[in-house]
Structure 1
Amino acid sequence: MWPKLALFFTVIAVLLLSLAYFLAHGLEWLMFVGFACLLLSFVMSIGAFLKKEQGFLKLIPITMFFLVSFIPSVAEPFQIVRVLSWLKNL
């Protein structure tokens, strides 16, 4: 059950983050919710590893977490600074 929920939250996170990226203003609350879903899926996937659940679905959220975190830092490094400064001001 954990890997399927983690995969669901990963898909939601990738959709929200890509939507926030392609919108003209880059809605910050959409990015925040996307990162929160991505972090939740990462934690759920780690929980699946700790419970030693079978299958490879538990690998996808961890891979997507690092991939989604890595791509923006290479493509547009100043966007990460903007998001981190916004999160600091919450």
Structure 2
Amino acid sequence: MKSFSHWSFVFMVLGSLLFGINWMIEGYFEVIVIIGLVCFMIGMIFVFCSILKREKGNLKVISLIIFFLVFFYITWFKSFQVLRIVTWLKNSM
């Protein structure tokens, strides 16, 4: 079974969609970004589980590539979003 690979891909695509929705709408919604970040982290956990279980297929590699590409884009072009998320988390706790 390749269940971890499938779930990692689902969560990576969901996180990408949430970051894309936040980028397309006017303004900034921290909740959308936080949910997208949580989806990415859950997807990364599933990627590592699928790598450790040595599941067959390339879906885990595609999920890993999506993760690195999206976070490269965020840190390179939208670096203040990371600072904004950390500040929002600090103020809300």
Q: Above 0.5 in TM-score?
A: yes
Query: Do the aligned residues in 2 keep the contact of 1:39 with 1:65 (CA within 8 Å)?
Result: no
Tell me the residue number matched to 1:15. Answer: 17
2:54 aligned partner: 52
Which blocks of at least 5 consecutive residues in structure 2 are unaligned?
none
Whole-Å separation in 2 of the counterparts to 1:40 and 1:15 = 15
Q: How does 1:58-77 map to 2 (within 5 A)?
A: 58-77=60-79
What one-letter code is carried by the residue in structure 2 that aligns with 1:61? S
Superposed CA RMSD = 1.2
CA distance in 2, matches of 1:88, 1:67: 27
Percent identity, aligned pairs only, is: 29
SS in 2 for 1:55: coil
Give the TM-score of the pair, scaled to structure 2.
0.88
TM-score, L = length of structure 1: 0.90
* SS of aligned partner of 2:26: coil
The structure with higher relative contact order (CA 8 Å, sep 6+) is 2
Q: Is the 8 A contact 1:10 1:61 kept in 2?
A: yes
Shift in Å, 1:71: 0.6
Amino acid at match of 1:54: K
Instruction: Give, in angstroms, the shift of residue 77 of structure 1.
Output: 2.0
